Each structure stands twice: as structure tokens, then as C-alpha cells.
Chains A and B, each alone.
Chain A
Amino acid sequence: MSAPPLREQRAGRRRDDTRLALLFILPATIGLVTFYFWPLLRGIWLSFTSWDLLSPAEFIGLQNYRDMIVDPVFWNALQVTAWYVVINIGVQTVVALLLAVLMQRLSRSTLLRSLVLAPYLVSNVVAALVFLWILDYQLGVGNQVLAWLGLDRIGFFTSEVWVIPTIALVNVWRYMGYTALLIFAGLQTIPHTMYEAARVDGASEIRMFFRITVPLLRPILGLVLIISVIGSFQVFDTVAVTTNGGPVDASRVLQLYIYDKAFAQFDFGYASALSVALLLLLMVVTFLQYRITRAGQTDLN
């Protein structure tokens, strides 16, 4: 067979692809439109209505948003969520980075990498229940250890001061291994030769960490941070299982407030407005983070 007919044959087949392609993306498109785009539009529309699920939704313009601005519970929820995100992301990033660098420098064992991933396999509910038990005021082994050390017991889930740091750290436990593996993957993209060259020049491990690892890891670290911050803002499961927002409103994060408004008070309009606020907040945070970490650029070239 000579070359030209083959190419023609190929080109001929290519022309047919459109119909087949449309067929192949049909299910995915149904999913995309029905469960991503349509809810997005509907949620925005609902935020301008008053609706209790029983009588028809009534358009009330910006009323929900006006209510939100003067709603102390909303501002409290925002504050609590922000505090949670700061602790969760702050600690998680440092621990995960440490873990990733240790994994890279000490061992390549898959066993080690699998072990750190173990908490990621359990659900938030399981993680919440285990720590509810470990950190129980009377019987929890955490408080037993504090007592042995001669320290006062801490009501981890019952004290207004401790509840958010505690929940934040429970989720650090669950996600640190996963985040570490993402960072570890980024570390693998840094050429070995750079470390070798630095070592020849007599650079110490710590110096190499700050001069090579951190700068070259920046784009990936930036992306990992953006993903974890978005996830972190949406905390719900752990709070719902451990404290359900208490004590008082000390752990009433935004998601829990949205859930309460919708499913306890049947105020779907207001709940939707709260979701829109969370969406806008996420967009601003993501944009700022992207700019600050310059996640789109690499220093590798």
C-alpha cells in the first residue's frame, strides 16, 4: 500500500468523528448541565427569593443579602470558618511539607508513603468519632496524657477556645498524608542535579531547602494550597458529628449554618444567599492566592 491512500483513508475517518464524539460526550454533558450548571443558575436565582419549600418561591430582590449583612450569626460563622481555615491550612502545610521532604530525603519506600496515606482512607465521620473518643474530657487518652504531664484537662470539644483548633487539627490528621504526597510529587520534578551541584558547593541541607526546594516547589505548592484552602472552607462533616456548632456558636462554620437554615428552618432562599456568599468568598480567595503564590509560573526554566 502506498502512502497517499492511507492518509486519505485517515482523513476520511476523521471527518466522521463528530457524530460519534457527540454520542460519546452525551452522558457527561447531561451530568455537567444537570448537576453543575443548572444548579449554579438555580442557586443564584433562589438567593433572590423567599422560599420554604411549601409555598411557591417569591422573588424578594436583595432582601436576603440585606438580612445577611446585619445577621450576627453569619458574621460569626464567617469568623469561625476563617479561624478554622487559618489553623487547618497553616499547620497542615507545614507538617505536609516536612513530611514530603523527609520522605524524599530519607526513603523511597512505598510502604512509608502508604502508611502516611492511611488517615485519608477513613471518612470524616470515622475521624471525628475517633478523636471525640481520644480527646474525651474524662476518659480520653489525650486528657490522660495531659494529666500525667501535670497539666489541666482540656475540654477539647466543649471549650469555646479549643473547639475550632481541635477540629482543625483533626482534619490536619486526616489530610496531612495526602497533602504530603501531592507535595512529594512536586518534589520529584526538581532535578537531582541541582542538589548535587549545591552539595559540591558545600551547601547544607537547610540551605538547600530554602534556596532550592522552596523556590522550585512554589508553583506546585501554590496549587496544592489553593485546593486545600477551597476544601477547608467547606468543612462540615467533622463539625456536624462532633459538636454540631457548639458550644454556643463557637464552631458554627458557614456550611453548618447553611445546612441549618435549609434543613432545620426551611429557609432555602436565605441558605442559597449564604452559599452565594461562600462562592464569592472562595473565588476571591482563590484569585488572591493564585496571584500571591504565582502558581501559574515556574522558576524551573
Chain B
Amino acid sequence: MSETTVATRPDEAGTTSAHSVPPRRRRRPSVGRIVAWVVMVVLLIITLFPFYWMLRTALSSNSALYAEASSWLPVDFSWGGFERVFGLQSTEEAIAQGGSGASIDFWRYLGNSVVVATGITACQVFFSAMAAYAFSRLHWKGRDRVFAIFLLSLMVPVIFTLLPNFLLIRELGLIDTLFGIMLPGLFMTPFAIFFLRQFFMNVPLEVEEAALIDGASKVRVFFSLIIPMSAGPIATISILTYITAWNDYFWPLMVSYSDESRVLTVALGNFNEQSPQTGPDWSGLMAATLVAALPMILLFLVFARRIVNSIGFTGIK
């Protein structure tokens, strides 16, 4: 029931209303359409409710939560949860409000997450772009065969490489370091290469040739032509890589043992385990989850249109 259908109706073509009023508005909503919207709204509520509940709980004071668990608004409004997350409360205060009293070095975990996600994203996207350039714009023997081998690695499940990679990182003496967490992701992912190659292939040959005739080298063409002209796709893959690296839990859990290299996801898991089983610090936990999720949500808000559309692209391929 799209607009196009309505517009092609013979009785509307050429009449005065056709150009002044969008045809869609003149349609009476059918029962089916109303039902469809209701289903859509229900799905949206399911999607968004947990975010609201995080916020509502984070802004409640923990002890009061136990008395009024089902209130739809924050119970006994308090910033206590957030204060505990950021380490702004004294231990006594924290325990009084239902916290575990364990020290949470939040800023360090946040910093670690930023370092890991930024390092992985910058290196992986750059190296993948270099490879994608070689696979799309350079002419060399065996190119397609080598590319096929790279694509083959898409089939290797993550789980299978994790144990041997852990051993390798251990042999390199990089256990419990941020570099050890980053290393396997620094060089490339087959997906990033594949993704960027698609776009590089679409940069018009003429532009490249003009630069070459002007005496530019292929390296220069890559840096001052291909990369700027593919800024959109590069930004997209960077954000997707950043989100993935930021949210990763299994690999950092394997490699990291101490605060030195603990990233936010692992810290959150720990935070949960340290929380007393009898009366967990739910407001503190929800404040922490919210703060951990916030950077990605902000990043997404800025680039939403681009990411959403790029998923359209990856879906087709």
C-alpha cells in the first residue's frame, strides 16, 4: 500500500489534487493498516522498554526498590547509583545504599574500552582498506585467487580461533595487556575488506587515470583520491567495527585478569558477580549498564542514518 500505487490510479492522474496534496493523505486508514501499526508499536515498546527500565532503576535508590519494585517511575529518586559507578561515594555510603562496597575503577575500564575499540578500529579499517585497494584497483597476477582465500576465512567460526589465539597471545607474553586484547583484531577482518572493496570498485576509472597522467603514484591515488572519495563507507565500517569491538566480551574475558586491562564489558560482568546475591545493587548495576551503553548510543545517534542505510547494503550482498 505504498504511495506509488495510489498515484498510478487513473482517477487521480491529471486532476487538480494530484500536485497539491500528497495522494497518501487522502487514503482512509484501513483496518489492516491500523492493526499493522498496532503490531509495530507493540514491537517498538518491547524494543525500547528495557532502556527505560534501566534508566528508571538507575535513578531509584536501591533500598527503596525492594519496597516498590513495580512502580513505573523511579522510586525515591536518587543519583546514588550513578555516584557509585563513578566512585563518587564513600564505601560506607555505598554499602548503606545497597552497594557492594567493592571499589569500581570505572574511569579506568572506560579508558581501556576506548583504547581497545579505537586501536582496533583505526588499524583494522586502515589495513583492510589497503588490502581492499589492492584487490580492487591494482592489477596483479593471482589477485582473484588470493581474494578468494581471504573470503574463505569468513567461514572460520570465531570460537574455533579463540583458544589457539589465546595460546599465541600467551606465548607472546601479552596476557593481561591491552595490546594482547587488540592484537588479533588489528590487521583485518575479511568482512571489512569485502565491504570496502565493493565501494572502491565503484570509484570511476577516469578520475584515477586523470591523476595518474598528472604524474601521481598509485600510493598517492589511494591516499588522496580513493580514501576521500570513499569517506562515507569508511566511516560506516569504522562505526560498525567500533561497536563490535566495544561490545566484545568473550575475548577480553579470556585475555584480561586484572584492572590493568579490564574493559567495560568484563567489568560489568564482574560488578554483577561481586554484587551480593541476597540483595543485589540493582540501581548501581543499571546505572553501570546505562553508562556502558551510552557511548555507543551517542555514536549511533550521530551516524544513525548512515549505519541504517549501510546495513541495507550489507544485507543485499
Contact = CB atoms under 8 A, between A and B. Distances in A.
Nearest to B3: A108
Identify the interface centre among A27, A37, A102: most chain B CB within 10 Å of its CB. Answer: A27
A32 interface: yes
A144 interface: yes
A139 B282 contact: yes
A36 B146 contact: no
Q: How large is the interface on B (under 10, 10 to 19, 20 to 34, 35 or more residues)?
A: 35 or more
A289 interface: no
B16 interface: no
A152 B129 CA distance: 56
Interface string A10-43: 1001101110111011011111101111111011
A18 B161 contact: no
B50 interface: yes
A139 B70 CA distance: 7
Interface stretch (B78-86, B101-109, B137-145): B137-145
A234 B2 CA distance: 39
Contact of A43 (B138, B160, B296): B160
B186 A125 contact: no
B73 interface: no
A13 B212 contact: yes
Contacts of B193: 28
Given A9-B213, A181-B311, A188-B312, A173 B46 contact: yes
A181 to B, nearest CB: 5
B247 A177 contact: no
Given A25-B131, A38-B164, A123-B265, A185 B311 contact: yes
B219 interface: yes
A28 B187 contact: yes
Given A27-B130, A126-B268, A255-B159, A21 B150 contact: no
Contacts of B159: 234, 236, 255, 258, 275, 278-279
A48 interface: no
Contacts of B32: 205
B152 to A, nearest CB: 9
B297 interface: yes
Nearest to A36: B153
Given A110-B304, A138-B69, A177-B47, A130 B157 contact: no
A118 B158 contact: no
Contact of A186 (B44, B218, B305, B316): B316
A230 interface: yes
Interface stretch (B92-100, B229-237, B285-293): B285-293
Interface in B15-34: 32-33
A275 B43 contact: no
B313 A185 contact: yes
Nearest to B128: A28
Nearest to B311: A181
B53 A133 contact: yes
Given A28-B127, A34-B168, A39-B161, A21 B187 contact: no
A258 B8 CA distance: 60
Identify the interface centre among B8, B209, B218: most chain A CB within 10 Å of its CB. Answer: B218
Contact of A182 (B304, B309, B311): B311
A241 B54 CA distance: 17
Contact of B53 (A24, A134, A263): A134
B300 A24 contact: no
B163 A199 contact: no
Interface string B55-70: 0010000000110011
Contacts of B305: 110, 114
Given A17-B140, A192-B2, A241-B269, A183 B315 contact: yes
B253 to A, nearest CB: 8
Contact of B135 (A25, A121, A173): A25
A95 B131 CA distance: 38
B207 interface: no
B155 to A, nearest CB: 8
Contacts of A284: none
Contact of A123 (B5, B190, B218, B246): B246
Given A118-B297, A184-B312, A130 B163 contact: no
5 contacts: A21-B138, A27-B131, A102-B43, A106-B36, A123-B247
Given A40-B160, A133-B285, A241-B272, 4 more contacts: A21-B134, A27-B127, A43-B164, A113-B308
Interface of A: 6, 9-10, 13-14, 16-18, 20-22, 24-25, 27-32, 34-40, 42-43, 46, 95, 98-99, 102-103, 105-106, 110, 112-127, 129-134, 136, 138-141, 144, 173, 176-178, 181-186, 188-189, 192, 195-196, 199, 205, 220, 224, 230, 233-234, 236-237, 240-241, 255, 258-259, 262-263, 268, 271-272, 275-276, 278-279, 282, 286
